[in-house]
């Protein structure tokens, strides 16, 4: 396939003058439209207007420009099909050997503050995707270019091979087009779905779509995955930066210092972020293997960090520190004087605090921006072999009015505050989760066990004497009395749990017998 004629019509005009000039120098005839044609003509690059080529003017405020048989016939005709070529000659259609098109800036438009629906709709490209898809379908005969980053290599190959491109290049360009147009359509689908949801239409959010559309863009390649023998990469939700997706996330966070993040770093940082977003107060947590090994809220960030660290200093080595407030110098001093810390994540950093952290060469420092209420409904995905599980994200929270005291003894006001804090932490512990708390700080955490009583044993052992007078939060119900008995032996004063076991009555009786107050939430926070 030799490129003799190219249709050039681009929204992103970066590099197009140089590209078109090189095509012209090689004798390629250029067709163009609108602003692109005006730009090329002003640069003294000859072009023929598409309206002159088709014999039909642009109409409907430019909505119809290239939707014409003389365009799509010239793109879709199979060159070695005699019947196709006979019809091309019969209807006076000229062949088009290259299409250089990128689409209206829909993504940029919807990211603007206070964008109106009408403006977004006018930036839905119709002719561009149609030309791209026609050319990509006929890639054996038509070169199709939607990515300005490829202009240079295409010119080099055309010069080196007498205006021809290899089949491999043609195929790769076509594949890139279908990736590009599918992403574009996905953005439109998401925007319109959210826009009409906001207008109170009858869209049923309780139902899961029959076909699930996921759009992710690669942020970076990783050195490896969970283990060195596994390859890895990090992708972001393609809508995370748009107007309708403003919640702080790992994908939108900035790295301010330190060596590159690993696969496991990213998992742990996300776990830390999700936990600290639970609290409006100064809060700190330390994460290992996606589980907290300490968490606390205090009047100051420094004291919150110190209390979180005290829970399990052994496990905290090499951990991820999560902070709910802007990091100050005093707290930074505490962090750098601690044993080895892998990463710190916070909404922001005071200048002197950041300088302190930067003294640790390999310490990864991540800034999320200020926390706010999640601006969109997020799904929780779990990949399984050959499929995907999807559910609502667990955003359920409680306050004192949601709780039901089921024992004769009631918790004190201070115990109640710690119970609610422990319940929030338990939500972020991989089950079976048992969290022991004193004065709104964890003192022992049991996680990842096959039996709940084993998690109670682990949490009690980690807490030691601090378990005396502590309160216990459990992510799911106690199926037997043994967990309550073990908690009582450790000195636990109060328990918060969902309830809902067929043996709730026996569990409550055991708590009464041991002098423990117990609260049912009616909500489970199980993480399988």
Q: Give the start-end residues of each E strand in 81-168.
A: 98-102, 143-145
The pLDDT, as a whole number, for residue 59 is 83
Q: What are the tokens at 96?
A: 């088009």
Residue 480 has a CB neighbour count (10 Å cut-off) of: 15
- Under CATH, what is the fold of the domain 400-520? Cytidine Deaminase; domain 2 (3.40.140)
The pLDDT, as a whole number, for residue 372 is 73
Residue 190: pLDDT over 80? no
DSSP structural state of residue 477: -
Strand partners, 361: none
CA dihedral 126, 131, 136, 138 (to 10 degrees): 140
The stretch 513-527 carries a mean pLDDT of 94
Q: What are the tokens at 310?
A: 């005290």
Tell me which residue of 512, 444, 446 sits closest to 484, measured CA to CA.
Answer: 512
CA separation for the pair 338, 316 (Å, rounded): 10
**Neighbour-count burial of 282, counting CB atoms closer than 10 A to its CB (0-12 exposed, 13-18 middle, 19+ buried):** buried
The pLDDT, as a whole number, for residue 172 is 94
Q: Do 331 and 305 touch, CB atoms closer than 8 A?
A: yes
Instruction: Delimit the domains of the chain by residue range.
Output: 5-192, 253-367, 400-520
The pLDDT, as a whole number, for residue 437 is 98
Query: 479: which residues sit within 8 A by CB, 6+ positions away?
Result: 452, 501, 503
* Domain 253-367 shares a fold with domain 400-520: yes
Query: 154: which residues sit within 8 A by CB, 6+ positions away?
Result: 19, 143, 145, 165, 169
Active site residues: 137, 289
In the block, residue with structure tokens 């918060």: 496
Lowest-confidence segment of 130-144, 174-188, 236-250 by average pLDDT? 236-250
Residue 241: pLDDT over 60? no
Residue 158 has a CB neighbour count (10 Å cut-off) of: 21
Q: Specify whether domain 253-367 bears CATH 3.40.140.20.
A: yes
Q: For residue 202, what pLDDT band results from cuts at 50, 70 and 90?
A: very low
Residue 389, classed as helix, strand or coil, is strand
CA separation for the pair 512, 504 (Å, rounded): 12
CA separation for the pair 205, 110 (Å, rounded): 22
The pLDDT, as a whole number, for residue 200 is 46
pLDDT tens profile 267-325: 999 999 999 999 999 999 999 999 999 999 999 999 999 999 999 999 999 999 999 99
The stretch 232-245 carries a mean pLDDT of 70
Average pLDDT, the chain: 90
Q: Which pairing describes strands 98-102 and 143-145: parallel, antiparallel, or unpaired?
A: parallel
Q: Do 417 and 408 touch, CB atoms closer than 8 A?
A: no
The pLDDT, as a whole number, for residue 473 is 97
Q: What are the tokens at 395?
A: 């955003």
The pLDDT, as a whole number, for residue 206 is 54
The pLDDT, as a whole number, for residue 205 is 52
Q: Do 6 and 30 touch, CB atoms closer than 8 A?
A: yes
349: left (phi over 0), alpha (psi -120 to 50) or beta: beta
pLDDT tens profile 120-148: 888 888 888 899 999 999 999 999 999 99
CA separation for the pair 164, 196 (Å, rounded): 47
Helix boundaries (H) for 297-395: 301-311, 313-316, 329-337, 351-358
pLDDT tens profile 85-115: 999 899 999 999 999 998 878 877 887 777 8
Which letter, b or e, does each residue of 388-405 get, where b requires 16 or more Cβ atoms within 10 Å of its Cβ? Answer: eeeeeeeeeebeeeebee
Q: Which CATH superfamily is domain 5-192 in?
A: Methylglyoxal synthase-like domain (3.40.50.1380)
Residue 198: pLDDT over 60? no
Q: For residue 203, what pLDDT band results from cuts at 50, 70 and 90?
A: very low
Residue 426: pLDDT over 70? yes
**What Å distances lie between residue 73 and 53, 96, 110, 138, 464, CA to CA?**
13, 9, 34, 11, 79
């Amino acid at each position: 396939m030799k490129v003799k004629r190219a249709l050039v019509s681009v929204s992103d005009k970066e590099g197009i003058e140089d590209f078109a000039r090189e095509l012209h120098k090689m004798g390629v005839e250029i067709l163009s439209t609108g602003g692109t044609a005006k730009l090329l003509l002003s640069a003294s690059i000859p072009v023929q207007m598409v309206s002159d080529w088709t014999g039909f003017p642009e109409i409907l405020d430019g909505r119809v420009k290239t939707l014409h048989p003389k365009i799509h016939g010239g793109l879709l005709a199979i060159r070695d099909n005699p019947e196709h070529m006979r019809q091309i000659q019969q209807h006076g259609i000229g062949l088009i050997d290259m299409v250089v098109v990128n689409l209206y800036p829909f993504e940029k438009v919807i990211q603007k503050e206070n964008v109106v629906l009408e403006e977004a709709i006018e930036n839905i490209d119709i002719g561009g995707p149609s030309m791209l898809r026609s050319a990509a379908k006929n890639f054996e005969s038509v070169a199709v270019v939607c990515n300005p980053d490829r202009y240079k290599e295409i010119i080099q190959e055309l010069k080196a091979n007498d205006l021809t491109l290899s089949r491999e290049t043609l195929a790769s360009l076509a594949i890139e087009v279908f990736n590009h147009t599918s992403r574009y359509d996905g953005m439109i689908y998401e925007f319109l779905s959210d826009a009409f949801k906001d207008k109170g239409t009858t869209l049923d959010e309780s139902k899961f779509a029959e076909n699930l559309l996921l759009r992710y863009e690669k942020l970076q390649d990783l050195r490896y995955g969970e283990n060195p023998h596994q390859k890895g990469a990090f992708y972001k939700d393609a809508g995370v930066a748009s107007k309708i997706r403003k919640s702080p996330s790992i994908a939108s966070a900035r790295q301010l210092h330190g060596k590159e993040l690993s696969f496991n770093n990213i998992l742990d940082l996300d776990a830390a972020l999700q936990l600290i977003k639970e609290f409006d107060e100064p809060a700190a947590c330390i994460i290992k293997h996606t589980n907290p090994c300490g968490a606390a809220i205090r009047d100051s960030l420094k004291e919150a960090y110190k209390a979180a660290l005290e829970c399990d200093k052994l496990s905290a080595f090499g951990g991820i520190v999560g902070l709910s407030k802007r990091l100050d110098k005093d707290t930074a001093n505490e962090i750098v004087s601690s044993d080895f810390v892998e990463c710190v994540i916070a909404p922001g950093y005071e200048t002197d605090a950041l300088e302190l952290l930067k003294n640790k060469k390999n310490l990864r420092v991540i800034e999320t921006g200020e926390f706010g209420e999640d601006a969109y409904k997020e799904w929780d995905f779990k990949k399984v072999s050959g499929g995907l599980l999807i559910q609502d994200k667990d955003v359920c929270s409680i306050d004192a009015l949601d709780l039901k005291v089921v024992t004769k003894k009631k918790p004190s006001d201070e115990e109640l505050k710690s119970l609610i804090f422990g319940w929030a932490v338990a939500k972020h512990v991989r089950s079976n989760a048992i969290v022991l708390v004193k004065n709104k700080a964890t003192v022992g955490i049991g996680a990842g066990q096959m039996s709940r009583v084993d998690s109670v044993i682990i949490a009690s052992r980690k807490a030691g004497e601090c378990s005396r007078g502590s309160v216990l939060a459990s992510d799911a119900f106690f199926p037997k009395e043994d967990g309550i008995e073990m908690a009582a032996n450790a000195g636990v004063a109060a328990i918060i749990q969902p309830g809902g076991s067929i043996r709730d009555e026996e569990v409550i009786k055991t708590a009464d017998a041991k002098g423990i107050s117990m609260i049912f939430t009616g909500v489970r926070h199980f993480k399988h």
